[in-house]
Amino acid sequence: MPDDVPTELPDHPDLDQLRRQAKELRRAAAAGDPAALAPFGGSEITLARAQRVLALSYGFASWPRLVQHVRVRADLTRAMDATADADDPLDRFLRTACLSYTEPSAAGRARDQLAADPSLAGRSAATLAACGRAVELADRMARDPAAATREAGPHRWPPLLYLCYSRLGLGDPVGAARVLLAAGANPNSGFLWQGLPSPFTALTGVLGGGERDEPPHPQAVELAELLLAAGADPNDNQAFYNRQFRPDNDHLGPLLRHGAGQPRPSPWRDRLGAAYPSPEQMVGEHLRTAAQHGFDERVRLLLAHGVDPTTRGYHPILGDATAYEVAVRFGHPTAAALLAAAGGRSDRLDATDLLLAAALSGDDSLAPTGPPDPITDLPTRRPDAMRLAAEQHDIAALARLLALGYHVDTPGAGHVTALHEAALRGDAAMCRWLIDHGADPTVTERRFGATPAGWAAHAGHRELAGWLTDRAAAAG
């Protein structure tokens, strides 16, 4: 397993590409390229040595460990293709019944399909699980015990995952889950979504959330308690990530009661190594994102549980800022006060941070005291402020930033604008305000090359996406 987090490894590592990289490195070193030669340290320039040098550059102790990591990720990866017209009816039913994080939840379509053909529910262990058919599932397990762990259906999932990601709201899913677990289903079942190294587990599925704010399972808390009692790891990185966007905290009770944040064996860390965060990092990052979003009650809960207010986390968006620094910089005074009372301090906050905190929150008490600071280049020093105001605050915060010298299209990280964030939120009033104040609806961000309309469409805000598309056409 990797000895250090492989921060440079691509999202979708490919062994053939890595082998080509090693060969190119060997050729460059043999040709005398100083940069290529340096890591060899005078050793013989062989392909095996080049492979080791490459593995080390990605944070792995050896080439075989890098190869093993890539193969494990490939084996656990599920493509999560979107529903297609050519799908087999059974595959279409399971795709639309379950969260996929590829397309918006479509459980209503699955219920319509089931109403038209009730026999779909009994076609397989996967469909019985998705429909919460506990009695029929028990009968099937008695006849075919191996079905409890057999991967099947469009996602190559075991039945437990279809149950946990289903949003049909039918039958007795808690009873069905008990049947599967008693038959040998793995409570730590999971997969790598699109190959990314943060597993989506059964627990992730029942808790919901995510960048599209997918709904939790209707029996989320009961299912989470059942999975955790059966041995599911409460240190579930993707579950923590997905629930960072929602202000409600029903996920935290089960996770914290069963030891989240405490060291314990982890089947996913065994598979993925240091690419998978530690328990302390997970709860620390959850505290930082609670401070980032101004979820004051979550900050209280995590601090009461003993999470360190000085944790610096690991997500690159927040850098090495402590939770306290995050709360101040993102304009959340109540969260900042809670963290300060728990020991959060900083000598890295300057007058710019305090001025922007006041502008974002509308709380003048946060503004710097003493002689006026001649800050004249705020947009250059803190270019992300407009994007942040649109993401987490309101039109009044945007107006205050314009008064401080920001342009309506001042881009943040990745060239993301306030209009992109307002579109992602589905905030039509904010989008109109930004357009009225000169925002460019044709601007594209750098990661996906998408316009604000594209961000609205990605988040499932179809009407807003259409309106922004029309504005972009008019502007063009």
Range 175-179 contact pairs with CB under 8 angstroms and sequence separation of 24 or more: 175/132, 175/134, 176/128, 176/129, 176/132, 176/133, 176/134, 176/137, 177/223, 177/226, 177/227, 178/134, 178/226, 179/134, 179/137, 179/138, 179/141
Q: 3-class DSSP state for residue 209?
A: strand
CA torsion 127-128-129-132 (nearest 10°) is: 120
- Among all chains, which residue has been given the structure tokens 């999932």? 157
Q: Which one has a higher pLDDT value, 197 or 185?
A: 185
Average pLDDT over residues 253-266: 95
* Angle between helix 418-425 and helix 428-436 axes, rounded to 10 deg: 160
Q: Could you give the CA distance from residue 61 to residue 121 in angstroms, rounded to a whole number?
A: 49
Check pLDDT > 90 for residue 197: no
- Among all chains, which residue has been given the structure tokens 């993925």? 272
In order of their start, the domains of the chain are 15-78 (no CATH), 89-260 (1.25.40.20), 383-476 (1.25.40.20)
CA atoms within 13 A on the CB side of 466: 2
Q: Could you give the CA distance from residue 292 to residue 331 in angstroms, rounded to a whole number?
A: 8
Check pLDDT > 80 for residue 258: yes
User: What pLDDT does 2 receive?
Assistant: 40
Lowest mean pLDDT among 8-12, 114-118, 325-329, 392-396: 8-12
Average pLDDT over residues 237-263: 96
Check pLDDT > 70 for residue 458: yes
Q: How far apart are the first and last CA of the chain?
A: 51
Q: Could you give the CA distance from residue 77 to residue 54 in angstroms, rounded to a whole number?
A: 23
Burial 81-104 (b: 16+ CB within 10 A, else e): eebeeebeebbbbbbbbbbbbebe
- Condensed to tens digits (0 to 9), the pLDDT of residues 129-161 reads 999 999 999 999 999 999 999 999 999 999 999
Give the C-alpha distances (Å, rounded to integers) separating 341 from 304, 356, 444.
Answer: 12, 22, 42
Beta-bridge mates of residue 214: 209
Average pLDDT over residues 62-90: 90
User: What pLDDT does 3 receive?
Assistant: 41
Residue 85's pLDDT band, with cuts at 50, 70 and 90, is confident
| Structure token pair of residue 313 | 């986390």
User: What pLDDT does 365 receive?
Assistant: 75
Please return the burial class of 25, using the count of CB atoms within 10 Å of its CB with bins 0-12, 13-18 and 19+.
buried
Average pLDDT over residues 47-52: 95
Residue 77's pLDDT band, with cuts at 50, 70 and 90, is very high
Residue 293's pLDDT band, with cuts at 50, 70 and 90, is very high
| Structure token pair of residue 399 | 């107006």
User: What pLDDT does 370 receive?
Assistant: 60
Instruction: Categorise residue 306: left if φ over 0, alpha if ψ from -120 to 50, beta otherwise.
Output: left
Check pLDDT > 50 for residue 71: yes
Q: Could you give the CA distance from residue 10 to residue 423 in angstroms, rounded to a whole number?
A: 28
Q: Could you give the CA distance from residue 19 to residue 70 in angstroms, rounded to a whole number?
A: 12
CA torsion 358-363-365-370 (nearest 10°) is: 30
Average pLDDT, the chain: 93
Check pLDDT > 60 for residue 397: yes
Percent of the chain with pLDDT strictly greater than 90: 80
Q: Which one has a higher pLDDT value, 274 or 227?
A: 227
Q: Of 300, 288, 280, 226, whose CA–CA distance to 258 is shortest?
A: 226
Residue 79's pLDDT band, with cuts at 50, 70 and 90, is confident
- Condensed to tens digits (0 to 9), the pLDDT of residues 309-324 reads 998 878 888 889 999 9
Percent of the chain with pLDDT strictly greater than 70: 97
Q: Could you give the CA distance from residue 434 to residue 345 in angstroms, rounded to a whole number?
A: 36
Residue 80's pLDDT band, with cuts at 50, 70 and 90, is confident
Helix, strand and coil content of the chain, in percent to the nearest 5, comes to 55, 5, 40
Check pLDDT > 60 for residue 4: no
Residue 1's pLDDT band, with cuts at 50, 70 and 90, is very low
